[in-house]
Structure 1
Amino acid sequence: MERRKFLQNGTLAGISALALGSLGQSAQAAGPHSELDTKGKTFNLNYAPHDGMFRNSGGSTFLDQIKYMYDQGFRAIEDNGMLGRSPEEQSKIGDLLSKLGMQMGVFVVDTGNNWKTSLTTGKQEFVDAFLNTCRKSVEVAKRVNAKWATVVPGYFERNLPIGIQTANVVEALRRGAEIFEPHGLVMVLEPLSDNPDLFLRTAEQSYEVCKAVKSPSCKILYDIYHMQRNTGNLIPVMDWCWDEIAYIQIGDNPGRKEPGTGEINYKNIFKHLHSKGYKGVMGMEHGIAGKGKEGEDALIKAYREADSFL
């Protein structure tokens, strides 16, 4: 072969090798859980965003955001304020979820007394308000095909012994469960960390209340953010209370933002939940660390990373 042709052929071969090598390195760098591989795919667990979480990427209306959530691989939503939406809007949301094959997570049974001293007192006015809201919640649940509704018993009544307060709450919840049971709706009790006046503070306390109510319509909402703040020891407590836990919510601590922004090892917790066979909704009840569309993209990336436990 002539020296000139040999050099030409060698140069072409070198260019081809470099090109193939670059493609191989790019694919390797992308990794098994890259955005190219995972965009639009469903997650290993059923994470549920809420209204406003993707307003920059999906649009200003909740319906548009739900469509965007579906396109990103999410298969559930939750909406604390569903009770306050019009029946027409509730029906539209329910119809869209049905069309997309998505699941409705929790909405709040908001009596207007959740953030004051109420059910712990045993006073009839608070019990009546709770039961009336339970009846209203049944109708809302039908429109959006909801299976769970969050219940917050309110604040301590500091003038009553704790045993009396607990009995008052149990009695009210039993009557609420009687309303929910025929419709397959489950009220999930949420222990919170927002302030020390809240009666329901720990999963263990909620477990005790659920055992006293003795109803399939009274279970625990285990919010990982709140439980980290109040007690820690997340996985052992979760296991102790497991047969009464019906719903999980997410938020890193400190800051109550997406997984990876705080101290909680969410990949390990998600792996544990998956190994237990949890098939329920995982409510994304937290804010976003970043801003704008970039922040929303980073949130999805954070969930892809935390969900990559298999």
Structure 2
Amino acid sequence: MERRKFMQQSLLAGASLAASPTLMASCSQNTAEAGKTFTMDFAFHDNMFKNHGGNDFIDQIKWAHDQGFRSIEDNGMMARPVEMQEKIGNTLAKLGMRMGVFVITTDNWHWKTTLTTGKEEWVSKMEKDCRTAVEVAKRCNAKWVTVVPGNYERSLPIETQTANVVSALRKAADILEPAGLIMVLEPLSDNEDLFLRLSGQTFNICKAVNSPSCKILYDIYHMQRNEGNLMANIDKYWEEISYIQIGDNPGRKEPGTGEINYTNVFKHIYNKGYRGVMGMEHGNAMPGKEGEIALIKAYREVDVKAGA
């Protein structure tokens, strides 16, 4: 090729690259780390990578696997058709990926379940949902299921509410334990009416239920909002923590978009021996393909460097 033609083509290619932010962002990921399996087992959710993977969750799973992710989580799994639950489970098995949490509920307003009241209608609903969850878990190869006790019952003392919750969760554990499922209780910060809000409170309930099928889901975003002192509280209640979720604060987006030092928090968790799923329960800080690439880059930056 003549030198002049080569230079013209090179300039045109460079101009094209400069005109395409998406292409530039994608190319910036074309490094030794691109596609490399993350050290920590980050679990994405449906629609997090839809701009690259497409609208089909199965296609998103395959695309994200190529980027180095090895787990998913899906709060709404119980609402999916049986055929889709099985398809997700089969896809994960073929790719060697893990299924993270799904929420035990047959309606979308799971936090309105009020086990604090002690009313039989809510306990019966919980038991029914647990039996359904066992079948769902078989289809998608799940091990963890999220449980939220519901709202504070202002007509009852806190001690009575706690006793009611413990009693209901023992019945849930009787169903889940033989199936090898772990319900992870999640203290939340979404609104002031929620009963379960603190890691210590959740720890005490797990101790009272006294089952290997009742543990803590430690959501770093919610716990930063409700109590802070993250690493100290993780240490304090470590023996009952079975699952961890992620989200920066404020904003509930990927690490690096808020105030939490995720590099230190992740290193602390990893050094304690945690090799479980890390649920990415947050939104994308930026829209489109650029936002998805930026999200992956953020996780590359805070991921633990094995052996370091």
TM-score (norm 1): 0.88
Alignment partner, residue 157 of structure 1: 153
**% identical equivalent positions:** 66
Alignment partner, residue 297 of structure 2: 301
- What is the CA-CA distance between 1:59 and the residue it aligns to? 1.0
* Aligned with residue 123 of structure 2, among 122, 127, 150: 127
* Aligned with residue 223 of structure 1, among 219, 234, 237: 219
* Aligned with residue 273 of structure 1, among 269, 272, 276: 269
- What is the CA-CA distance between 1:127 and the residue it aligns to? 0.3
Question: Aligned letter for 2:177?
Answer: E
**Does 1:59 pair with 2:86?**
no
The 8 Å contact of residues 218 and 243 in structure 2, kept in 1 or not, is answered as yes
Alignment partner, residue 69 of structure 1: 64
**Does 1:108 pair with 2:103?**
yes
Question: Aligned letter for 1:276?
Answer: K
**Does 1:264 pair with 2:260?**
yes
Q: Give the Cα–Cα distance (whole angstroms) in 2 for the partners of residues 118 and 307 of structure 1.
A: 38
**Does 1:285 pair with 2:281?**
yes
Question: Aligned letter for 1:44?
Answer: T
The 8 Å contact of residues 193 and 201 in structure 1, kept in 2 or not, is answered as yes
Secondary structure in 2 matching 1:195: coil
Question: Aligned letter for 1:196?
Answer: E
- What is the CA-CA distance between 1:44 and the residue it aligns to? 1.1
Q: Which moved more, 1:105-114 or 1:235-244?
A: 105-114
Q: Give the Cα–Cα distance (whole angstroms) in 2 for the partners of residues 35 and 223 of structure 1.
A: 31
**Compared with structure 1, are the counterparts of its residues 200 and 111 closer, same or farther at alpha carbon in structure 2 (3 Å cutoff)?**
farther
* Aligned with residue 95 of structure 1, among 80, 86, 90: 90
- What is the CA-CA distance between 1:34 and the residue it aligns to? 6.9
The 8 Å contact of residues 121 and 165 in structure 1, kept in 2 or not, is answered as yes
Which deviations, in whole Å up to 9, do the C-alpha atoms of 1:140-176 show, x marking residues without a partner?
A: 0000110000000000100000000000000000000
Structure 1: gaps (5+ residues): 1-32
The 8 Å contact of residues 258 and 299 in structure 1, kept in 2 or not, is answered as yes
Structure 2: gaps (5+ residues): 1-27
Structure 1 segments (4+ residues) deviating >2 Å: 111-117
The 8 Å contact of residues 63 and 93 in structure 1, kept in 2 or not, is answered as yes
- What is the CA-CA distance between 1:117 and the residue it aligns to? 5.7
**Does 1:244 pair with 2:231?**
no
Q: Give the Cα–Cα distance (whole angstroms) in 2 for the partners of residues 116 and 41 of structure 1.
A: 41
Secondary structure in 2 matching 1:38: coil
Alignment partner, residue 140 of structure 2: 144
The 8 Å contact of residues 117 and 156 in structure 1, kept in 2 or not, is answered as no
Secondary structure in 2 matching 1:220: strand
* Aligned with residue 231 of structure 2, among 217, 235, 246: 235
The 8 Å contact of residues 117 and 157 in structure 1, kept in 2 or not, is answered as no
Alignment partner, residue 193 of structure 2: 197
Alignment partner, residue 7 of structure 1: none
Q: Which moved more, 1:105-114 or 1:63-72?
A: 105-114
TM-score (norm 2): 0.88
Question: Aligned letter for 2:278?
Answer: M
RMSD value, Cα: 1.2
Matches within 5 A, 1:5-84: 35-84=30-79
- What is the CA-CA distance between 1:73 and the residue it aligns to? 0.2
Q: Give the Cα–Cα distance (whole angstroms) in 2 for the partners of residues 252 and 99 of structure 1.
A: 32
The 8 Å contact of residues 111 and 130 in structure 1, kept in 2 or not, is answered as no
